[in-house]
Amino acid sequence: MVDKLYELTIHEAHKLLKQREISSVELTKAVLERIEKVENKIRACVTITEDVALKQAQEVDNYIHGGNIAPLTGIPTLIKDVICTKGIRTTCSSRMLENFVPPYDATVTEKLKAQKAVVVGKTNMDEFAMGSSTEHSAFFPTRNPWDLTCVPGGSSGGSAAAVAANEAIYALGSDTGGSIRQPAGFCNVVGLKPTYGRVSRFGLVAFASSLDQIGPITKDVTDCALVINAIAGYDPKDSTTVPYAVPDYTLNLIPDLKGMRIGIPKEYFVEGMQDEVRITLVAAINKLHELGAELDWEASLPHTKYALAAYYIIAPSEASANLARYDGVKYGFSEQSASNVVEAVEKTRQFGFGSEVKRRIMLGTYALSAGYYDAYYLKAQKVRTLIKQEFEQAFQRYDALVTPTSPTVAFKLGEKLQNPIQMYLSDVCTLPINIAGIPAISVPAGFAQELPVGMQIIGKPFDEATILRIAFAYEQASGKRRKPPL
């Protein structure tokens, strides 16, 4: 009998399930018991669906015969609470949707169910995915399993913390400016933001529609490949997905990098980067050279310095439009004390949204307003084009680019809450990738100040295979995964 079933990876659990050495019910119960043990410390979950999960697990055990099962069959997962789950409340960690139960599944949820995955709950997040620390949840902050006084990153902090703490075998997150990769880096797990259009956004509650992507948060790179295999692909319900064939990403997981050309853009080693993080990253990148890759430390993406400003015009502008639908009339929270319709909408939005969401709505509304549209929004879109072109030029020379995931390790809870600019700078290395719509993955690169450091590997559009190969080779060479002291 395997000890601590909750510590298994997807591929390890799949092998045991296939060989009938464990059952899905045993695995699910182990994960639920783990949640019960550590959740009061981590606070990673908004909703636990114990009854649903055990029923799904029992159905899997009744179904498994002949050993021919899909890679995710019977394996417990958590889903970020911005992704719709039919019959299970989807709150976006907001008072506005606190009691909202979707009548349909997101496409990614359907795809997990098609493989008979077991959903054990929904994870905490920054409200409407707006934040870098999971402190902007309307319910409670999530804590980092490596240091309970630190943030797990955001906005998918609940998903990353849960996977790091073994509260699920894997999780889904969403990434608008780094919201999968930054918490993955802070929590010592693997997080992939796919190319824009690779994974359906149908059923993902919108923050910024031209930037959002759903992706996996996993314990290792092999698991990451298995999950993206399951959720990627064209979806007629999402007109931004592309009808490209989805390769089997596990076929590219080979442990050497011979012939690879990798650029290290100097602009990502930003002012204010912690010295220990820099040292850890340089050592990790040098390991890629040992594995056969050719490195160019003089790679340059000069427009990177404008990405933060452009992002914080484009994303709030799209949020301002997307969040206009929350008016207290059709669904969600509705303030009943108003004397007329206009006051009802105003009060609903006043009490239904948190401070960070209101800040971004106001920023976006201002940028889109008459007299400012050309000066701000239009200019930001032009900068976006320059950033995208710069990446295209870089990928004519390199197979991939490597950068820090974040310039710092996880910061203390409350440390940046009163300084939004400092909080926004946490994503300075990740948000250019969303602006360009290209794929990137964060993998554990070591530790600084006893806290995890992430390495970000950036790829060409729809070339997730290459960045997974680099991530896998590095992971295999860097030794056994460390677990948090829980």
Per annotation, catalytic residue among 155, 174, 200, 442: 155
Active site residue 320: no
d(CA 253, CA 233) in angstroms, rounded, equals: 20
Per annotation, catalytic residue among 24, 132, 174, 179: 179
Active site residue 339: no
Q: Which helix (H) or strand (E) holds 400?
A: strand 400-404
Half-sphere exposure of 218 (CA within 13 A, CB side): 25
Question: Locate tokens 């790091």: which residue?
Answer: 164
The answer to whether 187 touches 218, Cβ cutoff 8 Å, is: no
The answer to whether 190 touches 443, Cβ cutoff 8 Å, is: yes
In this structure, the dihedral spanned by the alpha carbons of residues 307, 312, 316 and 317, taken in order and rounded to 10 degrees, is: -60
d(CA 463, CA 127) in angstroms, rounded, equals: 31
Q: Is 296 exposed, middle or buried (CB count within 10 Å of its CB: 0-12, 13-18, 19+)?
A: middle
Size (the chain), residues = 486
Residue at 70: amino acid letter? A
Question: Locate tokens 């710092």: which residue?
Answer: 408
Per annotation, catalytic residue among 24, 29, 80, 174: 80
The answer to whether 455 touches 284, Cβ cutoff 8 Å, is: yes
Active site residue 80: yes
Q: Which helix (H) or strand (E) holds 262?
A: strand 261-263
Q: What are phi and psi of 221, to 5 degrees?
A: -75, -35
- Return all residues near 360 (Cβ < 8 A) that are at least 6 apart: 130, 315, 316, 319, 320
What are the residue numbers of the active site?
Answer: 80, 155, 179
